[in-house]
Amino acid sequence: MTAAACIVAALGGCSPAFNWRDARFENAGLTALLPCKPDRGSKPVVMAGRPVTLSMMGCEAGGAMFAVAMVDAGDAGKVTEVLANWQAATLANIRAAPATNAVPLKLAGASTAPAPSLVTARGQSANGKVVMSQAAYFVQGSQVFQAVVYAEKVNPEASDAFFSGLRLQ
């Protein structure tokens, strides 16, 4: 059992709804702790005015969607712009105000400029229901990452386990 899985058990984030496991991106140095077996995919998108491939993995458990996504900006000088565009697009997607609560996030191995952050927002899903999101944004070299939880009501123990289970090599 990994140290992160032990933390999850201690926090009470273990329940029949959560079956925590490590999941890794093939071409990135990120391992995430997810509460279920993730689906994986990728698609072409435009970020900061250039085409990139968005790689994703995620799953639903305990009434929440847990997802991790990554793009390679191709140039470390573009990561700040990509990060800002990505955060704005995510907030717009759930119809949340741009000025939401952002706090610093400690994540070993992440670049310090721009600094990792955790953004909490309240928005609306496509069907009109309230949706809460907690999204971590961080960078390593030219790779830009987002780890996010969407739920009507975020389970604090599961959310803490998810974000503390992010590991960069």
Position 66 scores a pLDDT of: 99
User: What was the pLDDT predicted at 10?
Assistant: 39
The domain spanning residue 57 has which CATH number? 3.40.1000.10
Residue 7 has a pLDDT of 38
Q: How would you classify residue 49: left for phi > 0, otherwise alpha for psi between -120 and 50, otherwise beta? A: left
The amino acid sitting at 95 is R
**pLDDT averaged per 10 residues, the chain (length 169):** 40 68 90 97 93 96 98 93 93 85 92 94 93 96 97 96 96
Phi first, then psi: give them for residue 85, nearest 5 degrees: -65, -45
Q: How many domains does the chain have?
A: 1
Domain span at residue 72 reads 3-168
pTM of the full structure: 0.88
DSSP 131: E
